[in-house]
Amino acid sequence: MRVLVCGGAGYIGSHMVRMLLAAGHQVVVFDNLSTGHSLAAEPASLVVGDLLDVPLLETLLTTQHFDAVVHFCARSLVGESVSEPYAYYENNVIGTLNLLKAMRAAKINKLVFSSTAAIFGDPESELIAESHPVRPINPYGSSKAMVERMLMDAARAYGLCSVALRYFNAAGADPSGEIGESHEPETHLIPNVLRAALDGRNTLKVFGHDYATRDGTCVRDYIHVNDLASAHTKAIEFMANHEGAHQFNLGNGRGFTVMEVIEAARRVTGVRVPFEYAPRRAGDPPVLVASNAKAREQLDWSPTFTEIEAIIESAWRWHQNPRF
Ligand code: UFG
């Protein structure tokens, strides 16, 4: 298969590229390198460009043949989306609309889309199934929910076949140590814990310890980046015999508090990370845990990194020796 991976130089996209290449597919990466790294996209061929550049996008899709598109390009920081909403709607919604129109013109009708747990807003239940209401509480979540809506409309109007994968907390790195998570600034918990463990002088801030959880800190469902990538492969296979727009929640189905992550990191690294309690971070729901039953049943997918220590260990290998 020939697959276009938009955002393939980013954290999750680059793990997807490796997996597709290892399975024998041909891969072209389209990425504006705003947060991605060209080294991460190797050894796929890389087209540097932006989804807002319509002529470039149309030329790429009409002059090359692709069987499917996997779309990771997005701005994805909740806090930034609150202060810069236009940038989020422009990149995530208009950028995706441009991609969908170019796909239609080029008669490509299979898309796997990166969605997020942020579409659920403040969850009504601890375990979130696909039937949970979609009620985003920040522009990032809204932008992803809008695209999910566009995909449903496009299925009806144009026969577009799509799978939206709603990631919970992506974490870890490829066991090869060649690619991993590299954001600047870094806002995510596990990289910040590991950077503090490496540095020794950095004090980790724990945002809020007065939540109604077992130790007062937020609970999240951490899912290994290669398990996310394998779900995309399963989604491509799924589209071979399923029409329409589909949605799946992707997590391990188990939640860990911030303090439990710090403790698991101590077991993995041998370093007791210094931390201090800080005020709650705006927009953080207390608990976010996925029900992954639908993905298990319908995609025939299951996570392989089921232990938090194994996820952190793979990230630790990367953070000790990052290539980019
Ligand atoms: N946290 C800290 N200290 C840090 C970093 C994070 O205490 O230095 C806490 C956060 O407050 C939160 C938990 O650790 O309670 C996890 O935070 P992350 O930033 O790692 O992840 P989020 O749950 O905020 O974000 C993830 C995805 C987003 C998505 C969101 C949905 O990365 O893309 O889930 O709510 F939008």
Tell me: the pLDDT tens digits for 135-162? 999 999 999 999 999 999 999 999 999 9
| pLDDT above 90: residue 292 | yes
- Residue among 188, 203, 259, 263 whose CB has most ligand 1 atoms within 8 A, to mutate: 188
pLDDT at 221: 98
Q: Are the C-beta atoms of residues 118 and 78 closer than 8 Å to each other?
A: yes
pLDDT at 202: 85
Confidence of residue 201 (pLDDT cuts 50, 70, 90): confident
- The residue whose C-alpha atom lies closest to atom 14 belonging to ligand 1 is 189
- The residue whose C-alpha atom lies closest to atom 31 belonging to ligand 1 is 118
Catalytic residue from among 140, 167, 211, 222: 140
pLDDT at 60: 98
Among the listed residues 71, 128, 77, the one whose alpha carbon sits nearest the alpha carbon of residue 252:
128
Tens of pLDDT, residue by residue over 219-251, are: 999 999 999 999 999 999 999 999 999 999 999
Q: Please say if 89 is a catalytic residue.
A: no
Q: Does domain 2-171+224-250 have CATH number 3.40.50.720?
A: yes
| pLDDT above 90: residue 284 | no
The residue extents of the domains of the chain are 2-171+224-250, 189-220+253-320
Ligand 1 centroid distance, CA of 300 (Å)? 28
Q: Where are the beta strands (DSSP E) in 130-266?
A: 161-167, 169-171, 204-207, 219-220, 222-224, 245-250, 256-257
In this structure, the number of other CB atoms found within 10 A of the CB of residue 81 comes to 23
Please compute the mean of the pLDDT values over residues 288-301 and round it to a whole number. 98
Please compute the mean of the pLDDT values over residues 79-105 and round it to a whole number. 97
Confidence of residue 268 (pLDDT cuts 50, 70, 90): very high
Cβ neighbours for 213, distance < 8 A, ≥ 6 positions apart: 219, 257, 286, 287
pLDDT at 200: 80
Atom of ligand 1 nearest to the CA of 204: 8
Exposed e or buried b per residue across 43-59, where buried means at least 16 C-beta atoms within 10 angstroms of its C-beta:
ebebbebbbeeeebbee
Which residue carries 């209401």 as its tokens? 133
Please compute the mean of the pLDDT values over residues 10-16 and round it to a whole number. 98
Please compute the mean of the pLDDT values over residues 303-317 and round it to a whole number. 98
Please compute the mean of the pLDDT values over residues 210-215 and round it to a whole number. 97
- Residue among 284, 287, 311 whose CB has most ligand 1 atoms within 8 A, to mutate: 284
Ligand 1 centroid distance, CA of 140 (Å)? 13
- The residue whose C-alpha atom lies closest to atom 7 belonging to ligand 1 is 206
Please compute the mean of the pLDDT values over residues 73-95 and round it to a whole number. 96
Confidence of residue 298 (pLDDT cuts 50, 70, 90): very high
Task: Give the whole-number percent of the chain exceeding pLDDT 70.
Answer: 100
Length of the chain, in residues: 324
> What CATH number was assigned to the domain covering residues 189-220+253-320?
3.90.25.10
Q: How far apart are CA 264 and CA 259, in angstroms?
A: 9
Please compute the mean of the pLDDT values over residues 295-304 and round it to a whole number. 98
What value does the mean pLDDT of the chain take? 96
| pLDDT above 90: residue 13 | yes
Which residue carries 């997005």 as its tokens? 74
Q: Are the C-beta atoms of residues 50 and 96 closer than 8 Å to each other?
A: no
Ligand 1 centroid distance, CA of 174 (Å)? 21
pLDDT at 64: 97
pLDDT at 43: 84
- The residue whose C-alpha atom lies closest to atom 25 belonging to ligand 1 is 169
| pLDDT above 90: residue 4 | yes
In this structure, the number of other CB atoms found within 10 A of the CB of residue 101 comes to 16
Site residues for ligand 1, CB cut-off 6 Å:
76, 78, 116-118, 140, 169, 187-189, 192, 204-207, 218, 220, 258, 281, 284, 288
Atom of ligand 1 nearest to the CA of 217: 15
Ligand 1 centroid distance, CA of 246 (Å)? 26
pLDDT at 283: 81
Ligand 1 centroid distance, CA of 170 (Å)? 10
Confidence of residue 282 (pLDDT cuts 50, 70, 90): confident
Q: How far apart are CA 70 and CA 111, in angstroms?
A: 6
Q: Is 214 exposed, middle or buried (0-12, 13-18, 19+ CB in 10 A)?
A: exposed
Atom of ligand 1 nearest to the CA of 117: 31
Chain centroid, CA 194 distance in Å: 20
pLDDT at 136: 95
φ, ψ for residue 306 (rounded to 5)?
-95, -10
DSSP-derived 3-state class of residue 14? helix
Ligand 1 centroid distance, CA of 219 (Å)? 9
Any bridge partners for residue 278, and if so which? 207
Q: How far apart are CA 220 and CA 200, in angstroms?
A: 25
- The residue whose C-alpha atom lies closest to atom 1 belonging to ligand 1 is 189
- The residue whose C-alpha atom lies closest to atom 10 belonging to ligand 1 is 207
Structure tokens at 217: 């800190």
Which range, of 29-38, 165-174, 279-288, averages the lowest pLDDT? Answer: 279-288
Q: How far apart are CA 84 and CA 33, in angstroms?
A: 19
